[in-house]
Amino acid sequence: MAPSFSEKLSTAGMLLSATTKSTFKYAVHGPRLPGWKLKNQLHRDLFYAFVSSSTPQIFDDSTLDTIDVQAIGAEMQANPLPEKKLTVKQGIYKVVAISAKQVTFETDKFDNIGVGKHDMLSLIKKDAEQDGTGREISCELVVATSAKNKLEKHAAEGNKSLLTCAPVCPGESILLYVHGGGFALGNSAGYRHITCQLSESCAVRVLSVDYRLAPQNPFPSQVYDVLVAYKYLLQQGFAAENITVSGDSAGGTLAIALTHLLRFIGSPVPGALVLLSPWSNLVETKPSVEANKDFDFVVLRPLESPISNPRLLYKPGQRLTPEIRAEMRDPLVSPYFGDFKNFPPTLVQAGSKEVLIDDIEALVKAIDDQNPGNPDSVVFEPATDMYHVFQNFPDYPESVKAYASIGKFVAKWTASQSSPANAE
């Protein structure tokens, strides 16, 4: 349900109040961190005000019987991130519908995928039995101007379109993007500024997937939808080694979980991963959550809260039993606990002052420790004094540097030397 006029007015008033307070504090006390300008402080405080006011404060299961988790999820989704428009100068995009029914799987390969086995097989079966074209997964294909300029002559030579998902030339690279939003929020339109910038920096096309959201669609719906999108690219003719999978925050969770899942079922893994502030451990709270709470806009509710994002994802509405807590350490739920030996080359970027930084550093260490003697296994780039997914603000100097680094990383690991497009 769309927000009412009074709700919109209340939100506007709240944001105006947050803007006034933040500006006043900056003028009187100076920047909260040495590297911050006024816009950094305003961005943090406005996002924090919006996020912290979006859901009620419920800290444990004591009132679970009186809570409608589904209604809370719907209320959260009633105020999505605004659509990010693209100018003609920036690039072009098109909504692409993937028929889940037309992406097929060998179901016997899913025997050892962990706690998601039963539900994922049910999802596959349900899609296969749909009438007609079946359920469609909405995606956006984004092509920045630099990618368009590089690829359009190859598209013309092959009489192909840049706004369809088939390769326009042999060996073409592509990036599959998985948006964040705590598994319960977000869509491709709200992250178009990121996907266009990735397309610009990497000079590749980007397919952004609108996976189903929790709690209406609990685990493993999200990672399954991302799997369908990835397998769709393979079916269209892209080689796995020419696919980069990228995601921010919860999208980073799903990007890593996808790679674990592909290894479980014996499918080819992507050529590289690019993770922006990934959330890989959903069950443990590290010291940085408290230490950096004044510098980040992310509000991490404790796992004990039935409306914490991990609980909205995994068995929403159920009490947090020791069994459920243990199940949430499964690599497809909390990918930090998976096997990273011989994992695809991975670039991890994060803000040094985000609440998840301890979790992110632990992920980087896990990948590095499990690949001794391989300096290419993981590259970690923390940005000083930055918060969660600072790449949301492409005009920051830190973001400009981050996107340039992503472009070099993607070119190194996924650009086929035989591809005329990648050779230019």
Tell me the pLDDT tens digit for each residue of 76-120.
888 778 899 999 999 999 999 999 999 999 999 999 999 999 999
- The CA distance from 284 to 325, in Å, is 10
Residue 50: the pLDDT is 83
Residue 420: the pLDDT is 57
pLDDT tens by residue, 234-250 = 999 999 999 999 999 99
Residue 258: the pLDDT is 99
pLDDT tens by residue, 346-359 = 999 999 999 999 99
Residue 417: the pLDDT is 42
Percentage above 90 pLDDT, the chain: 88
Q: Indicate if 249 belongs to the active site.
A: yes
Sign of CA dihedral 408, 357, 364, 234: negative
pLDDT score of 227 more than 50? yes
Percentage above 70 pLDDT, the chain: 95
Residue 402: the pLDDT is 99
| Strand 346-351 relative to strand 205-209, pairing | unpaired
CA distances in angstroms from 47 to 150, 160, 230, 238, 309, listed in the order given: 36, 41, 31, 37, 17
pLDDT score of 418 more than 70? no
pLDDT score of 9 more than 70? no
CB-CB contact of 329 with 303 (8 Å): no
- The CA distance from 321 to 359, in Å, is 23
Q: Considering the chain, tell me which residue range(s) the CATH 3.40.50.1820 domain(s) occupy.
A: 91-423
pLDDT score of 4 more than 70? no
Domain 91-423: homologous superfamily in CATH? Alpha/Beta hydrolase fold, catalytic domain (3.40.50.1820)
pLDDT tens by residue, 158-202 = 889 999 999 999 999 999 999 999 999 999 999 999 999 999 999
Phi, psi at 177, each rounded to 5°: -110, 140
Edge to edge, what strands does the sheet with 174-178 contain?
Answer: 91-99, 136-144, 205-209, 174-178, 243-248, 272-276, 346-351, 378-383
Alpha helices in 108-264 (DSSP H): 117-128, 145-157, 192-202, 221-236, 250-264
Residue 423: the pLDDT is 58
Residue 3: the pLDDT is 59
pLDDT score of 324 more than 70? yes
pLDDT score of 5 more than 70? no
User: What mean pLDDT, rounded, does the chain reach?
Assistant: 94
pLDDT score of 21 more than 70? yes
If you write DSSP's letter for every residue of 342-380 in order, what string do you get?
A: TPPPEEEEEETTSTTHHHHHHHHHHHHHTSTT-TTSEEE
Residue 415: the pLDDT is 74
Residue 7: the pLDDT is 61
pLDDT score of 55 more than 80? no
Mean pLDDT of 403-412: 98
Mean pLDDT of 7-28: 86
Say which of 208, 249, 267, 305 is annotated catalytic: 249
